[in-house]
Amino acid sequence: MTKASAKNLLNDGKKVTHQLFNNNEYLVRNSLLVNNQLYDENGQPIEESKFWAERKSSEWNAGWYVFNESVKYKRRKLYEDIL
């Protein structure tokens, strides 16, 4: 999906990831907080304007999708089994 669609899903409270992220990496927005902060998979706050400013090149315009924990785990496990 596109970056714009990913941002909309973040606003809806979905976890999103990108094809260039590691298997366990995702973004999520905490809409329960007043500041509507963006967080990474470790619960660390992300400065949103800086995050998107650093991802302006074309490879970030698409390749976004909803994070699926079971799929990501299976991919990681498969990779570990290969090693």
- 80: which residues sit within 8 A by CB, 6+ positions away? none
* Strand arrangement of the beta sheet that strand 38-40 belongs to: 45-46, 38-40, 27-29, 16-18, 64-66
Whole-number pLDDT of residue 73: 53
Q: Where are the domains of the chain?
A: 3-82
Whole-number pLDDT of residue 83: 46
The four Cα atoms 59, 57, 47, 7 give a dihedral, to 10 degrees, of -50
pLDDT tens digits for range 9-51: 999 989 999 999 998 999 999 866 657 789 999 999 999 999 9
pLDDT tens digits for range 47-64: 999 999 999 999 999 999
pTM, 2 dp: 0.77
Q: Counting beta carbons within 10 angstroms of the beta carbon of residue 19, is it exposed (0 to 12), middle (13 to 18) or buried (19 or more)? A: exposed
Whole-number pLDDT of residue 31: 67
